[in-house]
Structure formats: C-alpha cells, structure tokens
Amino acid sequence: MRLKFAGIVVLVALAIVLAYSVSAPAAPNSANAAAVPTAAAQPNATAASAAEPHPEIREAIGALRRAKEHMEHAAHDFGGHRVEALRATDAAIHQLEECLKFDKD
C-alpha cells in the first residue's frame, strides 16, 4: 500500500513537472549560452541541432532531484511515507536517465 501511494505521489509530481516545463518558455542557461553556437552563427545549421536535446526530460530530472533534496531534509518521517517517496523518486530519476540513454541521435 505504501509503495502504491509513493508511486502515485511520484507520478503526480512528474506530471506536474512535465506540464510546467512544457508550458513555460525555456530560458537559456547563461553559463552555457556562449558555449553553444546559435543557428545565426552557423548558416547551414538548423535551430534544432543547436538546442539541447530533450529539455523537458532534463528539467524533470532536475525537478525530481530538487524534490528529493527537500524530502531528505524534511522534519518528519511521515509514518514511513517519506522513505517510500524517496525510493520512488530515485526510481523515477533512474527511469528518466534510462530514457535519455535510448536517444542515439
């Protein structure tokens, strides 16, 4: 029962993160902005090739890692549910990282 609840919590959190990342405009990372050439700098390059691949998945991984950090520093155990949520979050992060490994483009 606890695992099912934790899984539902993680799936809902992931859905919220993905919905937010899809609806929010992507802002360039100022540290990497100069390192990534733009399409204007390369006349034959397309804008898609200069963009980071799968920004939604990468943002979801980051959001899950931030959520995990918050859960790790929570004041209570919440009857063992925090531990189960941490495990489910780790599993979700692992699955998203596996998704990125399958992209061979």
Give me the pLDDT at residue 75, please: 86
**Dist CA 59 CA 81 (whole Å):** 25
- The whole-number pLDDT of residue 57 equals 93
pLDDT digits (tens, 9 = 90+) for 33-65: 444 444 444 444 445 445 678 899 999 999 999
The phi-psi region of residue 97 (left if phi > 0; otherwise alpha if psi is between -120 and 50; otherwise beta) is alpha
pTM of full prediction above 0.75: no
Question: pLDDT-based confidence at 80, cuts 50/70/90?
Answer: confident
Residue 3 has pLDDT above 90, yes or no: no
Sign of CA dihedral 83, 15, 49, 33: negative
What residue segments make up the domains of the chain, in order of their start? Answer: 1-23+52-105
Among positive and negative, which fits the CA dihedral 23, 38, 65, 90? Answer: positive
Tell me the pLDDT band of 74, cut-offs 50, 70 and 90.
confident
Kindly report the average pLDDT of the chain as a whole number. Answer: 73
Residue 85: its pLDDT value, please? 93
